[in-house]
């Protein structure tokens, strides 16, 4: 089972992130996903968040308790939600929008310049798809195929292609980072061994 929180500010497509990912997982990856979101005044402006509980069997308890993955696309969201991310959890941050605390190694941090990538693709609105792509590569929680199947109906038809491009961009970047990380962590291990 995996608990995921997407967070940021209103207008960044935070709810859409969870909708797309949740739909992809539960309709096309043959797993179960329950998506919840905060409503009302607290959902307008300020930090906004949507949650996914993903499981191999039917999700009983629908809420996130201790998230294993946090996606934080704004400073406020990072400040608010980082402390509740579980130890060893995966933290994905929008690197140009979030200034992080000094890394203590408590969680694994994966920065991504999602907005910049999206702008390069023509519209910052595609940033959330870059994030989903990056998220898919880093967490392996959802397959790229499933996301692409889930997209129609959830993004306007005329932007479908651009959204898929944005996803691919984020996914490719995520894979690069993961490859580098595994290389780096091997090095780190090797180094510590060397020190031994």
Q: How far is the CB of 77 from another protein (least distance, A)?
A: 19
Give the interface with another protein as residue ranges (CB under 8 A): 18-19, 22-23, 26-27, 32-43, 59-63, 150
Q: How far is the CB of 163 from another protein (least distance, A)?
A: 17
User: Judged by CB, which is closer to another protein: 26, or 115?
Assistant: 26
Q: How far is the CB of 46 from another protein (least distance, A)?
A: 14
The Cβ of residue 28 has, within 10 Å, a number of other Cβ atoms equal to 16
The answer to whether 152 and 116 are in contact (CB under 8 A) is no
Q: Which H/E stretch holds residue 91?
A: strand 90-94
User: Judged by CB, which is closer to another protein: 149, or 181?
Assistant: 149
| CA 124-78-170 angle, 5° bins | 40
Q: Which H/E stretch holds residue 49?
A: strand 47-55
User: Judged by CB, which is closer to another protein: 53, or 98?
Assistant: 53
The answer to whether 133 and 169 are in contact (CB under 8 A) is yes
Measured distance CA(63)–CA(150) in Å, rounded: 22
User: Judged by CB, which is closer to another protein: 37, or 95?
Assistant: 37
Q: How far is the CB of 162 from another protein (least distance, A)?
A: 22
Q: How far is the CB of 189 from another protein (least distance, A)?
A: 36
The Cβ of residue 10 has, within 10 Å, a number of other Cβ atoms equal to 14
The answer to whether 59 and 25 are in contact (CB under 8 A) is no
User: Judged by CB, which is closer to another protein: 54, or 71?
Assistant: 54
First to last CA, the chain: 36
């Amino acid at each position: 089972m995996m608990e995921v929180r997407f967070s940021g500010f209103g207008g960044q497509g935070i709810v859409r992130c969870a909708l797309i990912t949740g739909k992809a997982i539960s309709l096309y990856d043959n797993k179960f996903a329950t998506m919840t979101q905060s409503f009302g005044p607290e959902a307008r402006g300020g930090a906004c968040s949507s949650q996914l509980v993903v499981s191999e069997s039917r999700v009983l308890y629908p809420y996130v308790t201790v998230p294993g993955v946090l996606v934080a696309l704004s400073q406020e969201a990072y400040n608010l939600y980082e402390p509740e991310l579980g130890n060893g959890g995966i933290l994905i941050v929008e690197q140009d929008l979030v200034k992080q605390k000094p890394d203590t190694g408590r969680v694994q941090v994966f920065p991504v310049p999602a907005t910049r990538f999206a702008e390069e693709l023509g519209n910052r609105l595609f940033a959330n798809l870059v994030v989903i792509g990056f998220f898919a590569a880093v967490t392996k929680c959802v397959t790229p195929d499933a996301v692409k199947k889930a997209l129609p109906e959830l993004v306007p038809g005329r932007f479908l292609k651009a959204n898929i491009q944005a996803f691919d961009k984020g996914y490719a970047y995520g894979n690069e980072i993961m490859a580098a990380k595994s290389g780096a962590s091997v090095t780190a291990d090797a180094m510590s061994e060397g020190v031994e």
